């Protein structure tokens, strides 16, 4: 004599979802994800440039902390391709830091145009950070070929770094 489990029906019909039901659910999820991506905005080149500028600001703050901890003068060499940290040695020369993961050359996105202090000659390193956390003033402009400019990064003598988006008031 067959036993019935409470809550189960005794039927010969197969349980599960039909192919049409599964396709409808997948279609609804796809439409929802599409609207979510549109709501978040540009994920292309402009977004990569903004993220690169934000990463640069955080990197400079990190190097400031490193200069304070080491009680040493550090510098950041900047060019259109990327940036790297240098240390001022006892021999009055700038030396690249070892290629540990954080101190190796950091690249800007391929489609970005980075201008450091327009109309001024760039020294090497472009940003000098003292053991107290103070640094030289600078302005870095991030742009692309089609969107000029996108983001500005400002550094002041007292070590404050600010990020200003060009399209926001």
Instruction: Please report whether residue 54 resides in a domain.
Output: yes
What pLDDT is stored for residue 101 in this prediction?
66
What pLDDT is stored for residue 28 in this prediction?
92
| Contact yes or no for 85/63 (Cβ under 8 A) | yes
Number of domains within the chain: 1
Give residue 96's domain range.
45-165
Check which CATH number belongs to the domain holding 127 and give it. 3.55.40.10
Instruction: Please report whether residue 136 resides in a domain.
Output: yes
Instruction: Please report whether residue 158 resides in a domain.
Output: yes
What pLDDT is stored for residue 39 in this prediction?
66
What pLDDT is stored for residue 14 in this prediction?
58
Both structure tokens of 31: 């439409």
The model's pTM is: 0.71
How many angstroms separate the first and last alpha carbons of the chain? 78
CA distance 5 to 129: 74
Instruction: Please report whether residue 36 resides in a domain.
Output: no
Give the number of other Cβ atoms within 10 Å of residue 13's Cβ: 6
What pLDDT is stored for residue 169 in this prediction?
47
Both structure tokens of 28: 């609804």
CA distance 67 to 63: 6
- Of 151, 116, 163, 166, the C-alpha closest to 136 is 116
Reading the chain (169 residues) residue by residue, the pLDDT tens digits are 565 555 555 555 557 888 888 888 999 998 888 877 776 655 677 888 888 999 999 999 999 999 999 899 999 998 888 999 999 888 888 988 877 767 888 898 888 888 887 656 667 788 999 999 899 999 999 998 777 788 999 999 998 999 998 876 4
CA distance 95 to 77: 11
Instruction: Please report whether residue 22 resides in a domain.
Output: no
Give me the residues paired with residue 76 across strands: 85, 127
Instruction: Please report whether residue 27 resides in a domain.
Output: no
């Amino acid at each position: 004599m067959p036993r019935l489990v409470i809550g189960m029906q005794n039927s010969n019909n197969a349980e599960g979802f039909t192919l049409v039901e599964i396709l409808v659910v997948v279609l609804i999820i796809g439409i929802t994800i599409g609207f979510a991506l549109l709501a978040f905005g540009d994920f292309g080149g402009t977004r990569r440039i903004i993220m690169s500028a934000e990463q640069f600001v955080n990197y400079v703050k990190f190097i400031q902390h490193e200069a304070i901890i080491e009680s040493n003068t550090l510098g950041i060499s900047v060019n259109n391709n990327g940036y790297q940290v240098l240390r001022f040695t006892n021999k009055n020369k700038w030396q690249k830091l070892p290629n540990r993961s954080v101190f190796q050359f950091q690249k800007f996105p391929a489609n970005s145009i980075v201008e450091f202090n327009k109309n001024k000659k760039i020294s090497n390193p472009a940003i000098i950070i003292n053991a107290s956390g103070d640094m030289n003033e600078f302005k870095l402009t991030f742009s692309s070929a089609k969107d000029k400019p996108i983001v500005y990064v400002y550094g002041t003598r007292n070590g404050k770094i600010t990020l200003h988006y060009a399209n926001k008031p």
